[in-house]
């Protein structure tokens, strides 16, 4: 039974499982399952094979239950397999190593036979796990549907400030433990397999928030919450520390399912429960209450206490981490539906109207109002939203306006004509059915209004378009927007990396994507990349750019893997009126732009406390602009991976 | 409003549209749409642009309605665009040709802007339509979602027997018209585009059933039913001839939507309708009844009159025309779910039980019953269904049985052990966890039972497996099955061809597929291909085969396109007990096998009354058996396409 209803949330984090600690011998499994399901757990993490078993020639595998004991849909919906924990593939003991490999393969084969959705494989027993990872990688090649969840304890010992000198001196006694490193080595040896996930064991103490943050970019499928991690409230019930609560809420928001594990430390009596619910009659019939029910109830409480998803978030939920190619309105004509969607972004057009109003007031003083008519050109008028904003700004400020609406898409021009007729704007608006690059304007404009910005600002070639269009702007004319700046920050984003990798070609790694970033870890604050100002009448205008950025990760983050860079923009429309999606300054409730994502062909490992240096180029050819080339270098002496450099087309 | 509810049928053929004959000028379109929807039509086939329009520089396209007049979802759900019928891209008049090309492109661009699902393009005006097809092919390359439906009148003049001599003498006066030929040339020039479909105009007279049958393998999306095609029943209402009814039912079963077109010829008064329904009060408020409502009501009657889909058909509906790779149980281990599904086919196991019972009675006479114990081996026992059938046959006939159950999948062996224990069969059944190819049997068997047949009989390598296994069969032993034969027939199957082509490689054309054939035209009765008999103790056993088949299409079919061959099998289990899927002799209610489909890399055009010659090879190498190689040749002198030959792996 799901933890609760949360409007718009259909993710797996609604489900809560329970770990079966003892081997359910004989036909024990169906009984345990029935008991757990009737106690409102959704699934079991259960051992599949007797942990006493060691491979013997001719023996039949001593499974917990024959496949006939549960139905195929019970197996696949309610059982996550737990691979025997004794296996140790990197042991010095060869027999143990060989037994481990054979048993692991047999158990996975049995789980595949049962069509389980996932199996949890035990944590590496030691820091070197090469043989374990090799065998798992080999198994992963043969799996079609089943996932493997590598169990990892969530722990990281913090290096004290005074210890840092010693660490750099390679003092082995001050070695820090960071279980993320185990995961990272394992996943690298498994070649970023898209069927390998993490199940994190949540213990009573937690690492720093910055270090926890890394996991939100990793493929965490389950948080195995140990009963030992719970505190006890005044009434004797289990509860979690504030930090644990924050972490769990984060997991709920990132589709991570909870599994309760351990022995009960909170023997909350059933009778008092019955009294509380005023339901005494049923105590006799009620089957024994599940020992871990109080923990499940606390989880349900935490889940239900979360704020409902805001409406815009709910609308965008299906776009989370979904890679889209940026629109290319310069090359392709947009469809009516696309215009319709973007025209609904009232926040954006309100900002434009404010900016145009301010420009009109600056251009025409109060005493010129009756004699002066401002010429305004909308370049890329689409179906007319900026024409409307301009006329509204004129009305609001009492300024007279003459509008030229320039649009290259003949289908949008048809709509523009209908709109002008419908609104009775014929005397104020002239429609120009033409590409702004070819148009020969009959007069020069006071104000040039455009909305050519992409998620990274210049990536839909706004600079090139506006440099061309300023030939019909008066020398003292105003461009709205008057400037814009792009921003980037490094991210961990294993899902995006795997989705791009699934195309099995280089081309998809040399593309920038528009994407509602969700399962990502933002590793450092965004920094400015390129800026453009309009109009620019300088004789030496160039839209080529180069920038070198250096990102410092917070000290307590630990090491991490960078899969790419998230990109944003901020635009000054006019004076103090701005518009943008840079996280720290973004315009609220605007939905026209998702961030952009620049992937790295090869993710870069960044050791703890090393800065990242990244180079960005914007290159212009005669017929083509490659908006971003990237080179990244983790600045470490003993470089374990060389710098990465490649071109990304937007 | 759908024509009716039919259990399990979720296809588009539930929807009925209406063609708008006049240009709805001004804001006429929303009114026409509202009226049609309130009269229970589901969508309009409507002109998008004033048919009087001819391209003029600078003119705004005179569209029927601005995109703002309907919502995006109304446009895409309720409007199929009708491209202007005057366009003639193969005219001798160059100006008309150029105007046609420009208008066609503008109208399609407008329809794309509106995100329509489909546009109907007019029928070719003459038998050569190369320029029309070239331009359409060019347009299709640029479409991402929208379909184009080429309108084709459903007509074929039958050549009389006495005329045939003349036709062969190329007498132009006796030339036959077959509109399928127009479609075929057009589609070939459009390179089998998967976004090009047919809309068939149904007229008052219909071609022969065999010729109609061809269309069920073609991508027909709509049947445009002319009011002129209707007859009048005794009460003055429209109805259709029996042959029209059969055709329409066929269309309903193949997801073809109906569009009613034409002027009303049946002015059934609304008042009499009101009287019939006893609903006189509402006549005043009721908006004018749609002139074509009586035809829609007749369609709904025809739709609702159809038999409900049988349960098995309903279960299999999602498998229709869905290409699956054949199982390779010899190479891969099946999963529990797969065993579970196949074990449910009681018809199959009942046939096995009958065959085994007959064999037991033949082996052991009544007076030997108490003294003789028959040794039976199940090779490929899986989770035990044939073991059960064997024991039931023994019980039924009173024969004593010793069963060896040989199975190579260790996971299935686990289940077999549980089953034997559960059923108390330990004294009768010995489980052998081994590949039958490696097993060294302790004694020889009287009866060897297996179920290794694929959809084409031998394609899962039953011959090779049983030749190996017969080493532990007594010289007078019985194999069940004792023989099997494969069958093929040529088919038109444009959907399957396009689905395979979508992979953009040759490998997918060199694969045989298991598929529930639905949108196919079966062009000639199936013929036998290869037979195998077991046991075969002859010293010169070879499973290599070669066969040449010649298919004659019924005389009145006309020409057709062959996309590949449908394959089936029939097996003799023992004496008169058989099992199979060959359409004429298939075992009813058995669901373990869908037909197999052998695709041709390049579909073959077969002119009217030409036979097709096909060569089939079964080739065995040391480590690999290529089950089918095909060569096809349409036996015509002026061969317009050469023979096709390639290897297909099963």
Q: Between A and B, how many residue pairs show a Cβ–Cβ distance under 8 A?
A: 94
Computed over its alpha carbons, how large is the radius of gyration of chain B?
30
pLDDT at B120: 98
Which range has the worst mean pLDDT, B24-38, B259-273, B299-313, B533-547? Answer: B259-273
Mean per-residue pLDDT, A498-511? 92
Cβ count near A502 (within 10 Å):
9
**Do A68 and B413 count as a contact with CB atoms less than 8 A apart?**
no
Q: How far is CA B27 from CA A521, B35, B68, in A?
A: 53, 14, 11
pLDDT at A276: 40
The span from the CA of A459 to the CA of A486, in Å, is 9
In the predicted model, is pLDDT for residue A568 greater than 50? yes
Q: Which of A152, A159, A195, A194 is nearest to A177 (CA)?
A: A159
**Do A414 and B114 count as a contact with CB atoms less than 8 A apart?**
no
Burial B116-130 (b: 16+ CB within 10 A, else e): bbbbbbbbbbeeebe
A48 chain-B contacts, CB cut-off 8 A? none
B214–chain A nearest CA distance, Å: 37
Look at A76 and A170; give whichever has higher pLDDT. A76
**Do A337 and B60 count as a contact with CB atoms less than 8 A apart?**
no
Nearest to A413 among B60, B114, B340 (CB): B60
**Do B417 and A60 count as a contact with CB atoms less than 8 A apart?**
yes
Which range has the worst mean pLDDT, A139-148, A168-177, A290-299, B25-34? Answer: A168-177
Cis before B481? omega within 30: yes
Nearest to B414 among A61, A333, A337 (CB): A61
Q: What is the pLDDT of residues B576-620, one digit of tens each?
A: 999 999 999 999 999 999 999 999 988 999 999 889 988 888 888
Given the residues B19, B101, B107, B460, select the one marked as catalytic.
B460
For testing contact with chain A, the best of B336, B405, B407, B410 (most A CBs within 10 A): B336
Mean per-residue pLDDT, B120-131? 91
Residue with tokens 């820091």: A127
In the predicted model, is pLDDT for residue A340 greater than 90? yes
A451 is annotated as an active-site residue? yes
Mean pLDDT of chain B: 89
Nearest to B415 among A68, A337, A419 (CB): A68
**Do A433 and B333 count as a contact with CB atoms less than 8 A apart?**
no
**Do A336 and B433 count as a contact with CB atoms less than 8 A apart?**
no
A415 chain-B contacts, CB cut-off 8 A? 66-68
A340 chain-B contacts, CB cut-off 8 A? 72
**Do B415 and A67 count as a contact with CB atoms less than 8 A apart?**
yes
CA angle A448, A449, A452 (to 5 degrees): 120
The span from the CA of B547 to the CA of B424, in Å, is 49
pLDDT at B646: 65
In the predicted model, is pLDDT for residue A323 greater than 70? yes
In the predicted model, is pLDDT for residue B273 greater than 80? no
Q: What is the pLDDT of residues B478-510, one digit of tens each?
A: 999 999 999 999 999 999 999 999 999 998 998
**Do B60 and A414 count as a contact with CB atoms less than 8 A apart?**
yes
Which range has the worst mean pLDDT, A29-33, B311-315, B628-632? Answer: B628-632
pLDDT at B633: 67
Tell me which H or E stretch contains A563: strand A560-574
**Do A67 and B414 count as a contact with CB atoms less than 8 A apart?**
yes
B311 is annotated as an active-site residue? no
Domains of chain A with bracketed CATH: 12-158+176-309 (3.20.20.150), 336-451 (3.40.50.150), 485-648 (2.70.160.11)
Which range has the worst mean pLDDT, A242-246, B27-31, B212-216? Answer: B27-31
B71–chain A nearest CA distance, Å: 9
CA angle B173, B178, B181 (to 5 degrees): 115
For testing contact with chain B, the best of A29, A59, A67 (most B CBs within 10 A): A67
The answer on whether B435 is annotated among ligand-binding residues is yes
Q: What is the pLDDT of residues A30-60, one digit of tens each?
A: 999 999 999 999 999 999 999 999 998 878 8
The span from the CA of B407 to the CA of B385, in Å, is 12
Residue B50: both structure tokens together: 């004033």
**Do A336 and B63 count as a contact with CB atoms less than 8 A apart?**
no
Percent of chain B with pLDDT over 70: 90
Mean per-residue pLDDT, A464-483? 95
The confidence band for A73, taking pLDDT boundaries of 50, 70 and 90, is: very high
In the predicted model, is pLDDT for residue B274 greater than 70? no
Q: Please, is A78 exposed, middle or buried when counting C-beta atoms within 10 Å of its C-beta (0-12, 13-18, 19+)? A: buried
Given the residues A101, A460, A582, A609, select the one marked as catalytic.
A460
Percent of chain A with pLDDT over 70: 90
CA angle B197, B190, B611 (to 5 degrees): 85
pLDDT at A271: 43
**Do B109 and A337 count as a contact with CB atoms less than 8 A apart?**
no
Mean per-residue pLDDT, B253-273? 81
B340 chain-A contacts, CB cut-off 8 A? 72
> DSSP string of B525-572?
--EEEEEEESS---TT----EEEEEEE---GGG--EEEEEEEEEEEEE
A201–chain B nearest CA distance, Å: 31
The confidence band for A641, taking pLDDT boundaries of 50, 70 and 90, is: very low
pLDDT at A520: 97
Q: Please, is A313 exposed, middle or buried when counting C-beta atoms within 10 Å of its C-beta (0-12, 13-18, 19+)? A: middle
A66–chain B nearest CA distance, Å: 6
pLDDT at A638: 41
Burial A410-421 (b: 16+ CB within 10 A, else e): bbbbbbbbbbbe
Q: Chain B residue with minimal CA distance to A68?
A: B415
Q: For residue A519, what is the DSSP state?
A: S
Mean pLDDT of chain A: 89
The span from the CA of B632 to the CA of B619, in Å, is 17
Residue A432: beta bridge partners?
Answer: A406
Burial B14-44 (b: 16+ CB within 10 A, else e): bbbbbbbeebbeeebbeebbebbbebbbbbb
Q: Would you call A323 helix, strand, or coil by DSSP?
A: coil
**Do B410 and A106 count as a contact with CB atoms less than 8 A apart?**
yes
Percent of chain B with pLDDT over 90: 73
Annotate A42-111 with three-state secondary structure: CEEEEECECCCCCCCCCCCCCECCCCCCCCHHHHHHHEEEECCCCCCCCCCCHHHHHHHHHHHHHHHHHH
Angle between helices B130-142 and B179-189 (to 10 degrees): 50
A433 chain-B contacts, CB cut-off 8 A? 58, 60
In the predicted model, is pLDDT for residue A650 greater than 60? no
B579–chain A nearest CA distance, Å: 28
Residue with tokens 């470490």: A636
Give me the interface pTM, i.e. the ipTM. Answer: 0.81
The span from the CA of A405 to the CA of A386, in Å, is 9
Residues B601 and B630 sit within 8 Å (Cβ to Cβ)? no
**Do B109 and A413 count as a contact with CB atoms less than 8 A apart?**
no
In the predicted model, is pLDDT for residue A526 greater than 80? yes
Given the residues B101, B107, B218, B451, select the one marked as catalytic.
B451
Nearest to A333 among B63, B66, B113 (CB): B113
Nearest to B113 among A110, A335, A433 (CB): A335
The answer on whether B349 is annotated among ligand-binding residues is yes
Give the largest CA-CA distance in chain A.
102
The confidence band for B375, taking pLDDT boundaries of 50, 70 and 90, is: very high
Mean per-residue pLDDT, A420-443? 94
B412 chain-A contacts, CB cut-off 8 A? 113
What order of strands is seen across the sheet that includes strand B445-450? B429-433, B400-407, B373-379, B445-450, B473-480
Nearest to A418 among B68, B110, B415 (CB): B68
**Do B335 and A418 count as a contact with CB atoms less than 8 A apart?**
no
For testing contact with chain B, the best of A340, A411, A421 (most B CBs within 10 A): A411
Dihedral (C-alpha) B279, B284, B286, B292: value to the nearest 10 degrees?
Answer: 90
Ramachandran bin of B578, using left for φ above 0, alpha for ψ from -120 to 50, beta for the remaining angles: beta
A418 chain-B contacts, CB cut-off 8 A? 66, 68
pLDDT at B634: 62
For testing contact with chain B, the best of A57, A327, A337, A417 (most B CBs within 10 A): A337
Angle between helices A336-343 and A410-423 (to 10 degrees): 50
The confidence band for A311, taking pLDDT boundaries of 50, 70 and 90, is: confident
Q: Which of A644, A649, A604 is nearest to A628 (CA)?
A: A649
B109–chain A nearest CA distance, Å: 7
B416–chain A nearest CA distance, Å: 9
B435–chain A nearest CA distance, Å: 14
| Residues of chain B that touch chain A, judged by Cβ-Cβ distance less than 8 Å | 58, 60-61, 63, 66-68, 72, 75-76, 106, 109-110, 112-115, 333, 335-337, 340, 383, 409-415, 417-419, 422, 433
Residue B259: both structure tokens together: 């569009």
B410 chain-A contacts, CB cut-off 8 A? 61, 106, 109
A410 chain-B contacts, CB cut-off 8 A? 61, 106, 109
Q: What is the pLDDT of residues B150-164, one digit of tens each?
A: 999 999 986 554 444
The confidence band for A622, taking pLDDT boundaries of 50, 70 and 90, is: low
The span from the CA of B648 to the CA of B508, in Å, is 9
Cβ count near A17 (within 10 Å):
23
Residues A283 and A271 sit within 8 Å (Cβ to Cβ)? yes
| Bridge pairing between strands A513-514 and A596-606 | antiparallel
């Amino acid at each position: 039974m799901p933890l609760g209803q949360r409007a718009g949330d259909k993710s797996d984090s609604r489900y809560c499982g329970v770990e079966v600690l003892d081997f359910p011998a004989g036909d024990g499994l169906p009984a345990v399952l029935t008991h757990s399901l009737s106690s409102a757990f959704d699934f079991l993490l259960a051992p599949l094979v007797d942990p006493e078993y060691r491979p013997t020639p001719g023996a039949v595998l001593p499974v917990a239950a024959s496949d006939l004991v549960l139905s195929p849909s019970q197996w696949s919906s309610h059982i996550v397999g737990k691979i025997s924990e004794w296996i140790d593939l990197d042991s010095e003991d060869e027999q143990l190593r060989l037994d481990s490999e054979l048993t692991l393969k047999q158990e996975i084969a049995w789980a595949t036979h049962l069509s389980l959705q996932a199996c949890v494989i035990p944590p590496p027993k030691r820091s070197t796990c090469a043989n374990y990872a090799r065998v798992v990688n080999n198994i992963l090649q043969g799996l079609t549907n089943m996932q493997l969840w590598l169990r990892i304890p969530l722990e990281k010992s913090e290096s004290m400030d005074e210890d840092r000198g010693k660490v750099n001196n390679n003092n082995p006694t001050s070695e820090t433990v960071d279980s993320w490193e185990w995961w990272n080595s394992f996943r690298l040896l498994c070649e970023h397999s898209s069927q390998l996930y993490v199940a994190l064991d949540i213990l009573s103490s937690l690492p720093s928030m910055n270090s926890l943050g890394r996991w939100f970019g990793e493929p965490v499928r389950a948080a195995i919450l140990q009963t030992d991690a719970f505190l006890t409230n005044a009434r004797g019930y289990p509860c979690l520390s504030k930090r644990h609560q924050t972490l769990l809420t984060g997991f709920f928001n990132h589709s991570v399912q909870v599994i309760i594990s351990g022995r009960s430390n909170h023997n909350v009596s059933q009778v008092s429960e019955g009294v509380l619910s005023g339901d005494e009659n049923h105590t006799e019939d009620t089957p024994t209450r599940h020992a871990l029910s109080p923990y499940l109830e606390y989880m349900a409480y935490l889940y239900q206490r979360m704020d409902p998803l805001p409406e815009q978030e709910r609308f965008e939920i299906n776009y989370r981490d979904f890679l889209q190619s940026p629109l290319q309105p310069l090359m392709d004509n947009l469809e009516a539906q696309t215009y319709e969607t973007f025209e609904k972004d009232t926040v954006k057009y309100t900002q434009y109207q404010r900016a145009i109003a301010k420009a009109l007031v600056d251009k025409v003083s109060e005493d010129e109002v009756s004699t002066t008519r401002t010429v305004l050109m909308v370049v890329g008028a689409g179906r007319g939203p900026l024409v409307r904003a301009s006329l509204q700004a004129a009305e609001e400020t009492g300024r007279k306006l003459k509008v030229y609406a320039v649009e290259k898409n003949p289908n949008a021009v048809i709509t523009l004509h209908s709109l002008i007729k419908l609104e009775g704007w014929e005397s104020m608006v002239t429609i120009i059915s033409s590409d702004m690059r070819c148009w020969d304007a009959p007069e020069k404009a006071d104000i040039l209004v455009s909305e050519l910005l992409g998620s990274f600002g210049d990536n839909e070639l706004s600079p090139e378009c506006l440099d061309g269009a300023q030939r019909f702007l008066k020398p003292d004319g105003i461009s709205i927007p008057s400037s814009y700046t792009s921003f980037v920050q490094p991210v961990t984003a294993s899902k995006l990396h795997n989705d791009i990798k699934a195309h099995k070609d280089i081309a998809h790694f040399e593309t920038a994507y528009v994407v509602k970033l969700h399962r990502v870890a933002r590793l450092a604050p965004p920094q400015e990349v390129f800026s453009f100002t309009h109009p620019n009448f300088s004789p030496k205008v160039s839209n080529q750019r180069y920038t070198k950025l250096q990102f410092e990760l917070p000290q307590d983050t630990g090491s991490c893997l960078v899969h790419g860079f998230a990109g944003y923009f901020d635009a000054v429309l006019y004076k103090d009126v701005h518009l943008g999606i840079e996280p720290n300054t973004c315009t609220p409730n605007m939905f026209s732009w998702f961030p952009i994502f620049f992937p790295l062909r090869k993710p870069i490992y960044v050791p703890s406390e090393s800065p990242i240096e990244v180079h960005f180029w914007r290159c212009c050819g005669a017929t083509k602009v490659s908006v971003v080339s990237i080179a990244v270098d983790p600045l470490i002496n003993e470089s374990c991976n060389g710098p990465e450099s490649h071109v990304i087309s937007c």
